[in-house]
Amino acid sequence: MTHHRTGRPAGRIRRSRNPGTHLRRRCGCALPLVGGLLMSVAHADSAPTQSDFGGAGIWQTPSARMAEDGELALTASHVHPYDRYNLSLQPLPWLEGIFRYTAVSNRLYGPEALSGSQSYKDKSIDVKVRLWTESRYLPDLSVGARDIGGTGLFSGEYVVMNKRFGPIDASLGMGWGYIGGRGDIKNPLSLISDKFDIRPASSGTGQFGSNHYFRGPAAIFGGMTYQTPWRWLVLKAEYDGNNYQHEPQKNNQTQNSPINVGAVFRPTRYIDLSLAYERGNTVMFGFTLHTNLAEGTGPAKVLDPAPAERASPRPTREPEEVDWARVARELRNNAGIQVSTITRRGREVVVSGEQEEYFYSAKAVGRTARILDNQLGPGVDWFTVASQQEGLTTAETSINRQHFNELADHDIDLTDFRRSAEQNAPTARNDEVLYRAPIKRTDQTFALAYSQSLGGPDNFLLYQVSAIYSLDYHFTPNIWWSGLVNVTLLDNYDKFKYDAPSELPRVRTDVRKYITSSTVTLPVFQLTGSRQLGNDLYGLAYAGMLESMFGGVGGEVLYRPFGERWAIGTDVNWVKQRGYDQDFSFRGYHVVTGHVTGYLDLGGEHDITVALSAGRFLAGDWGATLDVSREFRNGVRMGAYATKTNVSAQQFGEGSFDKGIYVSIPFDLLLPRSTTSRVGFVWDPLIRDGGARLGKRYTLYSLTSARDLDNFNDNLDKVVE
């Protein structure tokens, strides 16, 4: 397909993302925020009920069902002696992921001198994959595994199927390990090999023990869920595959009956309350917050300025007769664009600048068109917005003036308008400059920040509330200085006393000293320069205090062809360890670190991006990080990453290798005013020194995010908002 204005082919469509490039602490952003996030976006009413372990299921047993695409659920359940805190994600229609903390109330975490009376905490990750969906004759069929990346205390695998009969949803499955703890069935896989007869004991933590999977005796489990005539009440019953006589830490429990029964009460769209009677002798109660992030549209933007009304009578001015300084101010206030230049190309007017307000680019382009339409006579047919970020011009979006007005007047539909919208790579042209804005020298923000660490031996929840002042000063559009001051207002890190053992240079496990040594810190003090090295080639150089633990110098180059589904870049950095006070002092350790990173958008319906980085990490170890994420059309992103280096599991320490799960949500979905900011939650179960990367403030993949085209195309309906 070609376009009316230039005849050039359209670029391929992608969404913006920046996978796996930032420094992650043990739990990246505020878990207490999650409840508020869940209540702020649209909920899928068909969300299945959660099991005690999180994920779609009955009580102790999983089901083959999957939640709606984009579902997120936060569940807390108590059945003595276990308290479980689960976060369930549905990044794909056929993939469910769960991470969990289990508190064992009748076991201590460790020595009383270190952990006091804190109960033992176990961390784990679960995965479930649906093999096929229910049809008239076939059931849903799923296979899954619990505790695949934790201690293995509650590890188990299962195959389960579900079939619906009116209001009754019945499940039947076979479990191994903890799920099939009764072990009263000989493993059918022993027909393949007698190795499946024995399940090796768990050893170590954080390893994917593939030699355990589907090993040992098995057990049958199953049950049913009954949706009563009252929407707020669901009844559930199951036959448990565990007999609780082989519990971890010899914590065996009495089971009077393998039948577990109970009810789920749904008082609102986003809350489930669960009450059950399990093992024939124990009461379970649970609480679930759940929502569908993919379907979220956010609250009405009542605090946004109204779009410009169409001028009457219609203007007759030529571009040279317009007060462009006033128009630039209106573009900033109403379209969110910090204008750098306004130029003319024949019958086209081009606004170049940085978007500071609107997450959805179509909304900003539409507002820009309204403002320009009110200023210009009939001699201009096209309006173009050239997206810039930190001096880099990355993409141009153009819309036909006549077709935009016809869309606003409901004379054509969105499909017809889409045919006239263009996205192109910026190229050097002899444009007539109508207006050049003075450089915006300073950009400053004040904010409150919350950070936390979960699951440590000192205290389960360590938190810090800080006031942050950020200041950027631009010497030129492409050279700027950044500073960040952090003032701790409230924290309980006085309880943080335990430094984990390490056989590697302490590039991350000294985190306690960096947090507790000073109330006022300077995490960032950095000079940065950007440059476009070619049509699709970008460069970045930086020096200073680059993050809270390291300072030095470095550079990055990124090749990102416009409209393609891939990019490749490399960075090299010489850095030195900073003093614990995060001032201008340094410690003795220094290292050269850097990576080559390839990005691939797999395209298709689900918009999955894979990022693979290989190189040298901060502790001098060599290896690779694989980051896989899925972004929904509204900008919500779910992903997971894993890093493996050339250090042994013993050298790495607890966890064996670095791994984590993350969710990133545009604040635009949560607030009554448009914003380009995001809030993120990262679950990185342990802070270790192996596989640690430099936490850079800027990356070229992020700065060139406008080269991903889906934000505009998938949300084109916002062009008239």
Q: Enter the DSSP assignment of 670.
A: T
Helix or strand (DSSP H, E) at 35:
helix 32-40
> Does residue 25 have a pLDDT over 70?
no
Residues 6+ apart with CB under 8 A from 198: 215, 216
At residue 7, the pLDDT reads 34
Residues 127 and 63 in one domain: yes
> Does residue 454 have a pLDDT over 50?
yes
- The tally of CA atoms less than 13 A away on the side-chain side of residue 13 is 14
Q: What is each CA distance from 559 to 6, 74, 387, in whole angstroms?
A: 25, 39, 18
Written as one letter, the residue type at 493 is: Y
Residues 351 and 450 in one domain: no
Among 175, 141, 146, 131, CA closest to 54: 146
CB 143 within 8 A of CB 133: no
> Does residue 182 have a pLDDT over 70?
yes
**Could you tell me if residue 459 is inside a domain?**
yes
**Could you tell me if residue 17 is inside a domain?**
no
pLDDT of 656-701, one tens digit each? 677 888 889 998 888 999 999 888 888 877 778 888 999 999 999 9
Across residues 131-145, what is the average pLDDT? 94
What CA–CA distance (Å, rounded) separates 215 from 278?
26
Residues 350 and 246 in one domain: no
Residues 414 and 548 in one domain: no
Residues 490 and 626 in one domain: yes
As a whole number, the mean pLDDT across the chain is: 88
Residue at which a domain ends, from 276, 292, 308 = 292
Residue at which a domain ends, from 439, 463, 493 = 439
For the chain, the domain total comes to: 3
0.75 surpassed by pTM: yes
Residues 137 and 278 in one domain: yes
At residue 242, the pLDDT reads 95
CB 488 within 8 A of CB 536: no
* 3-class secondary-structure state, position 521: strand
Residues 327 and 252 in one domain: no
**Could you tell me if residue 342 is inside a domain?**
yes
Residue-number span of the structural domain to which 283 is assigned: 55-292
pLDDT of 258-301, one tens digit each? 999 999 999 988 899 999 999 999 999 999 999 888 887 888 99
CATH number at residue 400: 3.30.300
**Could you tell me if residue 531 is inside a domain?**
yes
CB 463 within 8 A of CB 450: yes
**Could you tell me if residue 588 is inside a domain?**
yes
**Could you tell me if residue 632 is inside a domain?**
yes
> Does residue 12 have a pLDDT over 70?
no
Residues 78 and 204 in one domain: yes
**Could you tell me if residue 30 is inside a domain?**
no
At residue 1, the pLDDT reads 36
> Does residue 604 have a pLDDT over 90?
no
Residues 454 and 424 in one domain: no
Least confident of 471-475, 538-542, 717-721: 717-721
At residue 330, the pLDDT reads 96
The 3 state secondary structure assigned to 448-488 is EEEEEEECCCCCCEEEEEEEEEEEEEEEECCEEEEEEEEEE
Across residues 501-520, what is the average pLDDT? 89
Residue at which a domain ends, from 414, 439, 464 = 439
Residues 424 and 369 in one domain: yes
Which two three-digit tokens encode residue 431? 């444009």
**Could you tell me if residue 39 is inside a domain?**
no
CB 81 within 8 A of CB 251: yes
CB 450 within 8 A of CB 462: no
Residues 705 and 573 in one domain: yes
Chain center to CA of 585: 34
The 3 state secondary structure assigned to 252-276 is CCCCCCCEEEEEEEEEECCEEEEEE
CATH number at residue 115: 2.40.160.40
What share of the chain in percent tops pLDDT 70?
91
At residue 459, the pLDDT reads 76
Residues 435 and 446 in one domain: no
Across residues 346-361, what is the average pLDDT? 94
CB 706 within 8 A of CB 353: no
Written as one letter, the residue type at 282 is: T
